[in-house]
């Protein structure tokens, strides 16, 4: 089966392409690096020709409110239109747990807009909501740092390994469309400040972590359960302490 992965050269996309190829599928990595641009439409028709499934794991190059909204709306409209012409039977998108609970955030408003466009289109779809990735621990800490101190809200946090996200998305992609969403999360639920305190200590990071109820995440204050699933959830197996890697440059959020 031909499966096109939009954002296929990124963190999750590259893992998806490799996994799907290992399963015997014709997985195509589509991104500006491979000549496919969802913002302009360049290369889309050729990439989608003969595809049964399209997986969108792309992300905006800018998180500024208007830029991120423009990216997700334009990219999603162009992609869905091209899929309709190509006869794609299943559209799969990766989104974030708690998206609908963070309307203060420009990024999450853009993800909501993306999901609404997908839901209104004629193409059967599945949306995978994932919690924050282990790979973004450094980036989240950096974004939360004020005067050398990491300030995060004392709310529940349930991050997941990128490999487990790719596994979950691949499983959904080769199954029947859900015409709805599924949530995936890591196996451990802990307080966000406790997680970062332990995670940074394990990385020999000297920064102090402070629990601040008013600390913002993507521009929004968090409630106790904002970032964690609130219903049926597929739990991954990889624990952070087993995944933990040496300090290295952090990949870009989210």
Would residue 94 count as lying in a domain? Answer: yes
What is the residue range of 151's domain? 2-243
54-97 pLDDT per residue, tens = 999 999 999 899 999 999 999 999 999 999 999 999 999 999 99
Beta-strand pair 53-56/2-6:
parallel
Question: The pTM is what?
Answer: 0.93
Q: What is the mean pLDDT of residues 139-162?
A: 96
- Domain count within the chain: 1
The pairs formed by 73-78 with CB atoms below 8 angstroms and a separation of 24 or more are: 73/110, 73/113, 73/114, 73/117, 74/38, 74/39, 75/38, 75/39, 76/38, 76/114, 76/117, 76/118, 77/117, 78/38, 78/39, 78/40, 78/41, 78/44
Q: What Cα–Cα distance (Å) separates residue 120 from each residue in 77, 149, 211, 244?
A: 11, 44, 40, 40
**Confidence at 245, pLDDT banded by 50, 70, 90:** low
Would residue 149 count as lying in a domain? Answer: yes
Would residue 52 count as lying in a domain? Answer: yes
110-135 pLDDT per residue, tens = 999 999 999 999 999 999 999 999 99
pLDDT at res. 218: 83
User: Any idea what the CATH number is for the domain that residue 218 is in?
Assistant: 3.40.50.720
Would residue 56 count as lying in a domain? Answer: yes
194-240 pLDDT per residue, tens = 999 999 998 899 999 999 999 999 888 999 999 999 988 999 999 99
The dihedrals phi and psi of 58, each to the nearest 5 degrees, come to -75, 165
251 pLDDT more than 50? no
């Amino acid at each position: 089966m031909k499966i096109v992965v939009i954002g296929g050269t990124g963190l999750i996309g590259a893992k998806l392409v490799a996994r799907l190829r290992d399963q015997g599928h014709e997985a195509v990595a589509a991104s500006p690096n491979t000549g496919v641009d969802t913002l302009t439409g360049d290369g889309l028709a050729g990439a989608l020709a003969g595809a049964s499934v399209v997986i969108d794991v792309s992300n905006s190059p800018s998180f500024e409110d208007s830029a991120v909204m423009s990216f997700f709306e334009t990219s999603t409209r162009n992609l869905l239109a091209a899929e309709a012409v190509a006869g794609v039977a299943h559209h799969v998108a990766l989104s974030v747990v708690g998206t609908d609970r963070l309307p203060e955030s420009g990024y999450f408003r853009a993800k909501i807009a993306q999901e609404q466009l997908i839901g209104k289109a004629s193409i059967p779809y599945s949306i995978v909501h994932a919690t924050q990735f282990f790979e973004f621990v450094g980036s989240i800490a950096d974004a939360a740092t004020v005067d050398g101190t990491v300030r995060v809200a004392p709310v529940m946090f349930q991050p997941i390994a990128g490999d487990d996200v790719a596994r979950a998305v691949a499983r959904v992609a080769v199954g029947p469309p859900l015409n709805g969403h599924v949530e995936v999360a890591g196996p451990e639920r802990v307080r966000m400040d406790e997680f970062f305190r332990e995670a940074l200590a394990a990385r020999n990071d000297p920064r102090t972590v402070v629990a601040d109820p008013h600390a913002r995440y993507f521009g929004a204050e968090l409630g106790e359960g904002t970032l964690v699933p609130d219903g049926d959830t597929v739990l991954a197996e990889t624990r952070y302490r087993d995944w933990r890697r040496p300090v290295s440059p952090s990949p870009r959020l989210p």
